[in-house]
Amino acid sequence: MQNIINFLIKHNHWFLLLVLEGISFVLIVSFNSYQGATMFTTANNVAGNIYMAINDVDSYFGLKSENVTLQNHNKELLEELQVLRSKLDIVSDSCAIAQIRESIKANSAFHYHTASVVNNSINRINNFITIDKGSADGITNEMGVFDERGVIGIVYRTSENFALVMSLLNSKSNLSCKIGNSNSFCSLQWQGGDTRYAHLIDLPQYATYEKGDTVITSGFSSFFPANIPVGIIEETVEDGDDIFNKAKVKLLVNFSNISKVYLVGNDKKEEQEQLEKEIKK
């Protein structure tokens, strides 16, 4: 305490100068309209900029929660869309929309989850993606994974809090697809090299398609519902096969830039696979 007092006594002339300048400033602003108005405007601008900066910071940190809310909302819309698509083929014109919506949860074979990517590889022959949801969140093996752009891959392994996704950029990936304009069914495989492209194989020669046609999921596998976008046909490829053709497809997903994903699970997957196994016996 004595040191503080000694410091104040030693530098008292500086403190006196500051007090006098403060008093002078108040007198100038108070008794001169121009200086007062200028001071008020300047102070108001400074305060406004400070509040704007604070608001920008709050908005930035609020984006995460907003994104989560939007992602969950999109997940619910996906569930409704899937059922509505199937309902349109069977309901009569007199069936009320409200009745369809009430039956969505009971009739949908698919359920959806959201997750974030925490690790991703694209420079190997067998690439995988790690997401931040696992068995504790209801994630199971062989769930389909996609985002707003298109198909990403299939869940390969799960732990309690994480899951490993086999991406389309994997030599072991084999996705059942169809060409939207012709309903021709085929398989999509990545054959290494450029991560922007994959190839359709087992494409019947009688199939009609052309550059620019959209490739979508077929719905034949138990991993994905039908009509999820996959890519766009870039060109046909000569394969020397008298039965099947190949086509080069530009993938819709940029695999070097994946952040938020959706996962889709098929509640009737085991029943479907068990029935299909009976045919193979």
CA triple 156-172-124, angle to 5 deg: 90
The residues facing 164 across adjacent strands are 130, 157
User: Half-sphere exposure of 229 toward its Cβ, with a 13 Å CA cutoff?
Assistant: 13
Match domain 110-281 to its CATH number in 3.40.50.170, 3.40.30.20, 2.120.10.90, 2.40.10.340. Answer: 2.40.10.340
For the cut 60, the answer to whether the pLDDT of residue 61 exceeds it is: no
**Mean pLDDT lowest among 162-166, 202-206, 259-263:** 202-206
DSSP letter (8 states) at residue 165: E
Mean pLDDT calculated for residue range 116-128? 94
| Distance between CA atoms of residues 61 and 78, nearest Å | 27
Domain ranges of the chain: 2-54, 110-281
For the cut 50, the answer to whether the pLDDT of residue 47 exceeds it is: no
DSSP letter (8 states) at residue 255: T
Q: Which helix (H) or strand (E) holds 203?
A: strand 197-204
Strongest mean pLDDT among 145-149, 183-187, 218-222: 145-149
pLDDT of res. 138: 94
- Neighbour count for residue 250 (Cβ, 10 Å): 14
The answer to whether the pTM exceeds 0.85 is: no
Are the C-beta atoms of residues 241 and 203 closer than 8 Å to each other? no
Are the C-beta atoms of residues 70 and 62 closer than 8 Å to each other? no
Strongest mean pLDDT among 36-40, 64-68, 70-74, 209-213: 209-213
pLDDT of res. 222: 83
For the cut 90, the answer to whether the pLDDT of residue 125 exceeds it is: yes
Which pair of tokens denotes residue 268?
């009737």
**Mean pLDDT lowest among 6-15, 86-95, 127-136:** 86-95
pLDDT of res. 53: 55
**Mean pLDDT lowest among 170-174, 189-193, 220-224:** 220-224
Classify the phi-psi angles of 244: left when phi > 0, otherwise alpha if psi is within -120 to 50, otherwise beta. beta
Strongest mean pLDDT among 27-36, 85-94, 209-218: 209-218
String of DSSP letters for 83-117 = HHHHHHTT--TTS-HHHHHHTHHHH-SEEEEEEEE
Residues in Cβ contact with 245 at an 8 Å cutoff, skipping those fewer than 6 apart? 203, 204, 205, 207, 236, 237, 239
The pLDDT tens digits for 71-103 are: 666 766 766 666 665 555 544 444 444 544 444
pLDDT of res. 21: 73
Give the C-alpha distances (Å, rounded to integers) separating 240 from 99, 177, 179, 203, 244: 53, 22, 21, 13, 9
pLDDT of res. 241: 63
Instruction: Please state, rounded to an integer, the average pLDDT across all residues of the chain.
Output: 77
pLDDT bin (cut points 50, 70, 90) of residue 236 is: confident
